[in-house]
Structure 1
Amino acid sequence: MVVIKGALLFLVVCAAARAASAGDGPLPNGHFEDTPDRSQMDGSVVTGENAIPQWKTTGHVEYIESGQKEGDMILTVPEGSHAVRLGEDGSIHQQLYVTPGAQYSVTFSAARTCAQYEKLTVSVVPGDASDEISIQTVYTSSGWDSYCWAFLATDGVMTLTIHNPVHEDDPACGPMIDSVAIKTLYPPQATGDNLLRNGDFEQGPYIAPGSPFGVLVPQRDETHISPISGWMIMSYTKVVKYVDSPHYAVPQGSYAVELVAGGEAALVQEVDTVPGSACRLEFSVGDAGNGCVAGEEQPMRVQASTAGGSKTVVHRSDGNGGGTTRALLEFTASESRTKVVLSGSSYHTKSDSSGTRCGPVVDDASLVCVPPAPARRLLR
């Protein structure tokens, strides 16, 4: 009996440890610092599919050490000393223990190593959640950008895959991956005080506590789960950046969104409205305090638009995060669904000559609509 109890306790402990992989934070060996079994390696090339602890690999995958030389290029790693590179048909896979019906966001860092067009496919199975993410544009001077992707859990155990779908002349050519993490999303609901869901942007992807670069959020439409709950990101290949208050100037709360792609990416949300309602859209515009200077000649501009009107907000920035412009757009709802769009209008780069893209920060958005008198009586 003691042996049975001990065995049961062991199973419970193991199950709890496995389930912990779905907690907010890095996945087990998400930084790839647990080194592979060298007997399943050929130089830096992974030859055994289970060589890297906690991960399964397929295709051409390399285990990279920071400072490793690749031709004329020195490969660097953003956190720790190791990363992986996905070459021809290269993929990494890890099982996730999740709650069916819950939403999750996956964050990972990626860096290009080749001059050609590079992209990644991120997916989970079972289910058909899968998307391609372009990593062609580099948004930081380090060459490493953090990206995020979100999904709805349809099963208690799902397999996450990050795959390089691009075929190059050199089979080793492909992006490096590091710092893979997960976060549970708790999408807020609209209220009478604010028809916008997650107008304060407090529900978003995981940002590592020590990461100073924020997280890039690629295109997400209404058919996908968004890493920024409630908000679609409309674009072809560009992104918005999710930023936190420890590293950026945030107008309110702990998180905001930096519009780093000019007019090529927009935040979009559709809400239920009563036709004829008098609506009041408000939001804050500031600078991220990251050296993004925008003066008289080229100030930051944020365009807010709905079917009932538009508003251009001008914000002049010294790059130090000082000052916030509060914007107001009043309009009359004409449909039962109203689309709110927030976008930048021009490109900006940091003043340190690094070429790092930056832009205005938007936060604390609210939409309040008062139905016309007959509708108010019907609503009672």
Structure 2
Amino acid sequence: MWPFPLNFQTRKRVIPIIVVGLLSLFVTVPFFFIKVDLPSCLTTQTQPPPNDGRRPTIPNIVHYVHLMSDPQGKIQFELKHFISLYSASLYFSPDVIYIHTDAPDDEVERAKSSDEASNKWSRLIFNLPQVVVNNVTAPDYADNGEEIRNLENKSDFVRAKVVYELGGIYLDWDVHPLRDFKPLREAGFANVVGLQKDDLVNSGCYMSIKGSEMMRIWLKYEHIVYDGGYITHAVILLTHLSRRLVMIPNEVLILDRYALAPSSWETDDAQSLMGSHSEAQAPHLASADPRRPALTTADAEVLWEAARASTREEWENDYSYTYAIHAFRSHGLHDFDKITLRYVLSRQSNFARAVYPAVQHAIDTGIIALDD
């Protein structure tokens, strides 16, 4: 019942006012809660899109981090490290590949010019034309006073800093590119990350424009949340940050796990990736050809028909929709010892078949020899 008498004309004027007021209340309340739920750094620090309407392009720069466990020790890269970096060089044709390291200059020079058989992979890596060594100092303490004890955690801080300052693609040494990242770099997002098996964001392979907001906030909050654990400041923080910043148009793209990390650290997945199948017939696989024209929609039905006619072996994984493989684990497995040239050229494992085209390209061009 109305609390005061209303005639027909008065009610005609008052009812619309009440309806509009109620609608305003329902519209205002949700926005109020959205606003107060956002961290202050997101409401005050986010950058507007470029005035010219262009979407961001991630620079074609690659970053690796190599920190020394012994400041006076020797750099000892292996074939697996060479495959990762050579694949990035081959498929990306990057402007530069940075190796950020705290190794002394004289040790880098020794590794670069060494004729020791045990150091051939280090020599090959440092002498690739796109490689530039950048000396860095890894932090010993986070800004919250917590000591950073292990190299993996120190690397997390270094990688976030250099990608924020320079932009580009960060790769762990056990990440092996399978194709060009250009479609991802030019997708119009300031940051591109990918999930791993536990639905967290993989911090071993990601890309960003120079000075992105996501990288700025990650670099800042690494020092705030660091607790000595392996993933609090890296995987977990990056996951929560990425998910929240998806709300900002073109700030971050989160790919599914099969894009950058189709395998995992679990035994079954690692065995599926690295385990050899000695009874398998080595398939004919061509050397990688970076000059081959990119596929277009004109090839779509041919690709589909080829997929339908595929005769893959039961154990063989399909990496046609994968940009890179993160080989999280390569120990404690059956029918696998280590990554050797013979192991790759035999093409009797999923990993070997995936990286074979790049390795064969290095052989064809004389960068490595069959007896290496």
TM norm structure 1 = 0.23
RCO greater where, 1 or 2, for CA within 8 Å and sep 6 or more? 2
Structure 1 or 2: larger strand share?
A: 1
Q: Which has the larger radius of gyration?
A: 2
Structure 1 or 2: larger helix share?
A: 2
TM norm structure 2 = 0.24
